[in-house]
Amino acid sequence: MVKIVEPRVEIYPLGQIEEIKRHIERCGRTCYKSEDKITDTSAEQFVEGILKSGHESVIEHANLIFEVDNTDENFGKIKEIASKVQGFRYHQSESELLASGNMRTFRDISRLGYSDFDEWFVKNGLGVFANQGNQTRALSGEIKLEKVQYLDKNDDRDDLNNITIHMITNLSCYKDITRHRLASFSIESTRFCNYSKGKYGSELTILKPVNLVAGTPEYEEWQSCMNDVERHYMKMCELGCRADQSRLCLPHSIKADVIMTANVKEWKHIFNLRCDKAAHPDVRKVMLAALELFHNEGYKTFDELYAKFLPDIEEFRGK
């Protein structure tokens, strides 16, 4: 019989450079459900393997915000780089010039031939992310780390600030969420996770639907269908099928662990669309929960959205 679970959302905090590699490993191991392999010393090797394989989407979950010398020349170069490299954001005021990007962004800047951030990585224990090659500096003066991931919970420079969450949802939900291109995702892989193994309880884990009421004929029919799917999945595995073959019969209700990172500007756009009544109930459930979590954690920039969707948040708490 399938295991039925509730959707859930939590923030994966990141605030120190010493945590970056461990944070990336934690996010990346979600894909293959290999969290049991995390040790005090495993992060460096994991990141090296990710970079060697070319799967750099995983390192997008860690973001750095730098201060550079606030000169006209630097500002012009920053704007030029931002026009060429996805995810590179900047903010200039009279007193400072800030630039923000994820670890893949900085590697892309390096691939343009600029060594500025590589030099900083090497000096600060993040040399694994640096590219080697003949490069020149694009910026003058010193580059200083301002913050990791988020400036301040009271800050409203939404382009610069990023939040990573872990959500337990289902396949249909993450198919909708991953349509948001200006975000980064690492998702439990049904291609590699073989749910017939004892590691997964030798069972399918299914997300409880929001729009079916337990105890009704419709719910009982759905649950019966899920149990049938599990039986067929396990039989295919028994016949020697690989996980990527057996998964062909998995339903939209199959549970999925999803890691998602976006800057605050994109989070606001997502909440406006996915908390709205026009969105699918399963998607609304996790996005309303995420919005409430951000508010409860003190991110002031979400106060207006929280007030807008508070009636919906209260409605979905009991579903």
Domain spans of the chain, in order of start? 3-12+161-316, 17-148
Beta-carbon contacts of 190 under 8 Å, excluding residues fewer than 6 positions away, are 243, 244, 247, 250, 254
Quick one: pLDDT band at residue 63, thresholds 50, 70, 90? very high
Stretch 235-255: mean pLDDT: 98
Same topology, domains 3-12+161-316 and 17-148? Answer is yes
pLDDT recorded at residue 146: 97
**Mean pLDDT computed over every residue of the chain:** 96
Say what the alpha-carbon torsion angle 188, 192, 195, 198 is, to the nearest 10 degrees.
-110
pLDDT recorded at residue 135: 81
The share of the chain scoring above pLDDT 70, in percent, equals 100
Q: Which contacts of 180-183 are long-range, i.e. CB under 8 A and separated by 24 or more positions?
A: 180/262, 180/266, 180/269, 180/270, 182/262, 182/263, 182/266, 183/260, 183/261, 183/262, 183/266, 183/270
* Residue range 139-178, pLDDT digits in tens: 999 999 999 999 999 999 999 999 999 999 999 999 999 9
CATH class of 3-12+161-316: alpha beta
For residue 103, give the nearest of 78, 130, 81 by alpha carbon. Answer: 130
Contact assessment for residue 313 and residue 291, using Cβ atoms and an 8 Å cutoff? yes
DSSP symbols for the chain: --EEE--EEEE-----GGGHHHHHHHHHTTTTT-GGG--TT-HHHHHHHHHHHT-GGGGGG-EEEEEE---HHHHHHHHHHHHHSTT-EEEE-SS-EEEEEEHHHHHHHHHTTB-HHHHHHHHTT-GGGPPPSS-B--S-S--EEEEES-S-TT---TTT-EEEEEEEEEHHHHHHHTT-SSEEEEE--TTT--TTSGGGTTS-EEEPPSSS-TTSHHHHHHHHHHHHHHHHHHHHHHTT--HHHHGGG--TTBEEEEEEEEEHHHHHHHHHHHSSTTS-HHHHHHHHHHHHHHHHTT-GGGHHHHHHHHHHHHHHTT-
* Residue range 180-222, pLDDT digits in tens: 989 999 999 999 999 999 999 999 999 999 999 999 999 999 9
Q: pTM above the 0.85 mark?
A: yes
Tell me the two tokens of residue 210: 């929001």
The topology under which CATH files domain 17-148 is Gyrase A; domain 2 (3.30.1360)
Over 90: is that where the pLDDT of 133 sits?
Answer: no
Over 80: is that where the pLDDT of 223 sits?
Answer: yes
pLDDT recorded at residue 318: 75
The share of the chain scoring above pLDDT 90, in percent, equals 97
Over 90: is that where the pLDDT of 134 sits?
Answer: no
* Residue range 252-286, pLDDT digits in tens: 999 999 999 999 999 999 999 999 999 999 999 99
pLDDT recorded at residue 131: 85
